[in-house]
């Protein structure tokens, strides 16, 4: 409360123009907004406004929360509005299951919200604020992808604010752990909405040419989910690689190279048929699904960094190798 000495008028924060007050609130951090919301009922409502929390969501979570995750959050919001969060088929104890797809026994869980009572309590109608703190506290297991070795997998993620890392669980099959201690740089927004058990429909087969960077679905056996691998479109064996005479783009066969494997490895390259829109491959090389052409240089840069890191890791034992003592100091006679 502030006193105007000339007129003797008491003024408060709520006496400010709407636009001025809103501008002040936009500069507050999440914690500061929570503190401000405790001043009075009017500020409690203002500080929970979705447009204020959208900015904080984008700043902290924009790197890992994409359209798929927002759709899952809307699923939980819809059930909260319909009053179906508790006591129906789609709930589990105090938690809320997200979308379900696939067929039994291979049901695919889109997300999971632990302790969903907040959506009917203090966060009622403050859904962006509820999403922010559900992520911050690790209660919202959201869908995303992460790098594991040189493969990308779909998973559900929970955040640990104390250690600033994620843990990942499988979408189905007992919800088993896929990884712990996962850093921010290992998680990404799914660029497409194709579930991991579904074959991605390739729409760029006839546009692909040598030198193009791609991600391709792969699984070891047909009963498991797909991961995504990085590859580069290569030349046919009959082509000498001269771009002035190269006709590989017009060939029905398509060569995909995986540079993480040695040149002599049978896993180094695969040959696909452009006319075949289904799964191709064998138990020896694995089964390959749809292809996604990479246009984003940042994505290509990330993959190349991972390839470089793998190459250095493989070279490290050689760099630290020391020959046995007998080899260093050969004995020329017998005692």
Q: 3-state DSSP call for residue 57?
A: helix
Whether pLDDT at 204 is above 90: yes
Q: Is the dihedral of CA 15, 17, 18, 21 positive or negative?
A: negative
Residues near 144 by beta carbon (within 8 Å), at least 6 away in sequence: 64, 65, 66, 68, 69, 154, 155, 157, 187, 188, 189, 190
pLDDT digits (tens, 9 = 90+) for 161-191: 999 999 999 988 778 899 999 999 999 999 9
Indicate the pLDDT class of residue 192, thresholds 50, 70 and 90: very high
pLDDT digits (tens, 9 = 90+) for 246-288: 999 999 999 999 999 999 999 999 999 999 999 999 999 999 9
Euclidean distance between CA atoms 91 and 94, whole angstroms:
7
Radius of gyration for the chain, computed over Cα atoms and rounded to the nearest angstrom:
27
Tell me the whole-structure pTM to 2 decimals. Answer: 0.84
More confident residue, 313 or 30: 30
- Kindly report which listed range (85-89, 219-223, 233-237) carries the lowest average pLDDT score: 85-89
Whether pLDDT at 86 is above 50: no
Specify whether the CB–CB gap between 231 and 269 falls below 8 A: no
For 42, the token pair is 């009017």
Euclidean distance between CA atoms 266 and 166, whole angstroms:
35
Euclidean distance between CA atoms 9 and 318, whole angstroms:
80
For 206, the token pair is 């006839």
Count Cβ neighbours within 10 Å for each residue of 132-162 and write b for 16 or more, e otherwise.
Answer: bbbbeebbbbbbbbbbeebebbbbbbbbeee
């Amino acid at each position: 409360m502030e006193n105007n000495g000339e007129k003797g008028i008491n003024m408060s924060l709520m006496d400010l123009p709407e636009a001025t007050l809103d501008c002040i609130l936009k500069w507050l951090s999440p914690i500061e907004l929570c503190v401000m919301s405790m001043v009075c009922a009017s500020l409690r409502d203002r500080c929970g406004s979705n447009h204020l929390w959208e900015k904080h969501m984008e700043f902290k979570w924009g790197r890992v929360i994409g359209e798929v995750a927002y759709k899952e959050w809307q699923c939980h919001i819809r059930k909260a509005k319909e009053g179906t969060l508790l006591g129906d088929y789609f709930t589990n104890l105090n938690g809320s299951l997200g979308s379900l797809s696939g067929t039994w026994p291979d049901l695919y869980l889109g997300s999971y919200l632990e302790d969903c009572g907040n959506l009917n309590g203090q966060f009622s109608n403050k859904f962006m604020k509820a999403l922010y703190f559900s992520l911050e506290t690790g209660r919202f297991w959201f869908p995303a992808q992460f790098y594991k070795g040189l493969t990308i997998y779909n998973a559900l993620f929970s955040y640990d604010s104390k250690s600033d890392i994620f843990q990942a669980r499988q979408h189905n099959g007992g919800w088993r752990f896929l990884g712990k201690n996962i850093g921010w740089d290992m998680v990404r927004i799914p660029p497409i909405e194709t579930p991991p058990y579904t074959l991605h429909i390739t729409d760029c087969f006839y546009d692909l040419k040598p030198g193009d960077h791609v991600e391709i679905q792969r699984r070891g056996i047909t009963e498991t989910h797909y991961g995504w691998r990085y590859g580069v479109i290569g030349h046919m064996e009959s082509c000498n690689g001269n771009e002035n005479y190269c006709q590989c783009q017009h060939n029905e066969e398509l060569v995909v190279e995986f540079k993480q494997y040695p040149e002599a490895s049978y896993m180094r390259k695969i040959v696909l048929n452009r006319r075949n829109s289904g799964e191709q491959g064998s138990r020896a090389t694995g089964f390959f699904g749809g292809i996604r052409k990479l246009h984003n240089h940042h994505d290509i840069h990330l993959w190349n960094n991972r390839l470089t890191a793998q190459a250095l890791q493989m070279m490290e034992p050689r760099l630290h190798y020391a020959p046995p003592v007998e080899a260093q100091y050969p004995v020329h006679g017998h005692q």
